[in-house]
Structure 1
């Protein structure tokens, strides 16, 4: 009499009828760019690149439009400032040795005003682009189509919250660096006045403390923009949410974010290094040529192709910057989704939201 209750097909570890072995678990559902399961490093990067490829129009289109508008605004602000203080600026350039404060003050005020306007406009533009990346990735994970108009409508509603998160995060991260700068400046003054013999090694020790503290805070609040968009959270709520999700997974979040930053660096070098080697060489001085009348004429004589190279270099820098401002938010948002899948069972929610029965799908834009 044979025993059929052990390792055979009818036993607890049995395989399909008529055979032996282990039945593999079915793959997790994948309605969009990532499987709805805990994500590995390869899945995070694969999902980011797949989103950039399939949703290039809403991602890069909105980013390009945003930075074009930003450029127009900055150029307009600079033009208005020059129209207001142009006479004072010409006076300063014509007689730099006889500078009077009455001429320098309007130029300084105009420069500070343009700089402040540019900083505010840059913060708003970056917040808008970051919110658009998160909103687009939401559709990419669910396997839905996303048009530029749809992404814009969702992005514009959540941009104030992302802007608040950006401002608060900038202030929090800047505090350790400002403290380090103040200590460095105080010690520098003390050494110059010879009032103390404080060791310079103390500055190095402070840097060893402040830099890791800044990185720790940056990673700790890194999920806040995603929470501000996907959970409709206010800035403070989004930052608290980020702390709860990152707690216990800080090193993993830091490591994958660092890999994303290295990927951005590699892409940037791949774009800019060929342009650096393609920079035109200066032409030898020609004594028979008429002397240059100004700086522009001098550059035209010594480096005649500098104008075309400058345009090409600016275009390459813009492409590299565009990749960075899109890729890094995608990586961070995918890590946010991964943490919610691991801790909160978000996979089931996403599967129901996608309307999928468990089969994988794709979106082709």
Structure 2
């Protein structure tokens, strides 16, 4: 496949924005030729506006498979956890009632405490496993939709589901490795600082608490930037898994390779996308929170002086349902939009560094205008360029 060797701004794209040829365009025109745009983005180096417009366009054109997948996953996770809480409550309702009814000067029975802690531990473990699987599926589903959106091809919910399931294990592995690489050094440093702080406070020296607080802030200032730097360095790993079929470790290496030389730009766009998603999620969640106040107030007004935990849960059920629905919608937005932006940044980096634009144009079946063919694309370290 003949494509341009140099992926620089003035090489593969003729020195014009978006890969256009500044002179010598189509016969009779002689001006700049825009790059092809079969899908949600032009197949050329992307500006900030292109990335954001591409993310919004993908949500608009591919909303059914995208939000359908998100709703099914997070809704299913919510139902699983609700059923688990119901089963746990039925199992430990007796110990819970006895512990709640104790006065301040009474100690709970050890058997009751063990039962409650066991149930809580099972719920926490189930929640962690469920969220890991759901997050892995979403981080795999968004690039699967985006791959077709870039090429302008339709995609069905069943296809997205199959592709997400086929990549969920390596995506979860890449996410776990990223979290460990970014968080473990921070945790170790903070533990060391906490130990120093405890020692200072235990010595009861003058200004010990103030010194401990200062050490804690110093630890955050030292380790926080390290965690952010590592997180951005590996943020393209899920997209590498889906687009290229990479394993977890290879995906981390691939992400680091693509981010190299453009860390600050990726950081800025990722931060902006996260802030936009958080603001949109807050705005969407607010009506649900306001709506949930009314059944909560009405339900609690009917409670007696000494209500049981079950009575409190029933009285607050309307408020809890409204809050959970609001959280569900907010979670879908805060997960989907930033991942679309990250996936487009992955595409942008491959267009800039590997001249992927002509390859995508050929895959989409459109004329590769604005792409002067000069030779084969050099393969990256992990193998030949894939899509």
TM-score by length of 1: 0.83
The separation in 2 between residues aligned to 1:273 and 1:254, in whole angstroms, is: 28
Matched, 1:316 2:329: no
Q: Are the structure 2 counterparts of residues 75 and 297 from structure 1 closer, same or farther at C-alpha, using a change threshold of 3 Å?
A: closer
Matched, 1:254 2:254: no
Matched, 1:233 2:243: no
1:191 shift after superposition: 2.4
CA deviations on 1:256-297 (whole Å, 9 max, x unpaired) are: 0011011112212322445566755979xx9xx996552799
251-260 or 290-299, which deviates more: 290-299
The separation in 2 between residues aligned to 1:196 and 1:129, in whole angstroms, is: 51
For residues 52-63 of structure 1, the aligned pairs below 5 Å read 52-63=59-70
Provide the residue aligned with 2:5 in structure 1.
none
Provide the residue aligned with 1:46 in structure 2.
53
Structure 1 residues without counterparts, runs of 5 or longer:
1-12, 360-365
1:249 shift after superposition: 0.5
The separation in 1 between residues aligned to 2:69 and 2:253, in whole angstroms, is: 29
For residues 185-204 of structure 1, the aligned pairs below 5 Å read 185-194=194-203, 199-200=211-212, 201-204=214-217
The separation in 2 between residues aligned to 1:68 and 1:145, in whole angstroms, is: 25
The separation in 2 between residues aligned to 1:166 and 1:262, in whole angstroms, is: 21
The separation in 2 between residues aligned to 1:299 and 1:77, in whole angstroms, is: 18
For residues 82-121 of structure 1, the aligned pairs below 5 Å read 82-95=89-102, 97-121=106-130
Q: Are the structure 2 counterparts of residues 348 and 316 from structure 1 closer, same or farther at C-alpha, using a change threshold of 3 Å?
A: same
Q: Are the structure 2 counterparts of residues 291 and 123 from structure 1 closer, same or farther at C-alpha, using a change threshold of 3 Å?
A: closer
Q: Is the 8 A contact 1:223 1:242 kept in 2?
A: yes
1:15 shift after superposition: 10
Q: Secondary structure at 2:185's aligned position in 1?
A: helix
- Give the counterpart of 1:150 among 134, 155, 159: 159
When the two structures are aligned, how many residues end up with a matched partner? Answer: 337
- Give the counterpart of 1:351 among 350, 354, 361: 361
> What is the CA RMSD across the aligned residues, in angstroms?
3.1
Q: Are the structure 2 counterparts of residues 182 and 79 from structure 1 closer, same or farther at C-alpha, using a change threshold of 3 Å?
A: same
Matched, 1:326 2:339: no
Higher-Rg structure is: 1
Matched, 1:77 2:90: no
Matched, 1:129 2:138: yes
The separation in 1 between residues aligned to 2:312 and 2:96, in whole angstroms, is: 23
Q: Is the 8 A contact 1:31 1:358 kept in 2?
A: no
Stretches (4+) displaced over 4 A: 13-18, 195-198, 273-283, 289-293, 295-300, 306-310
CA deviations on 1:70-111 (whole Å, 9 max, x unpaired) are: 122222332333343333323323336231212211221221
CA deviations on 1:24-80 (whole Å, 9 max, x unpaired) are: 311100111101000000000000000000001110001111112212222233233
The separation in 1 between residues aligned to 2:247 and 2:27, in whole angstroms, is: 56
The separation in 2 between residues aligned to 1:94 and 1:293, in whole angstroms, is: 9
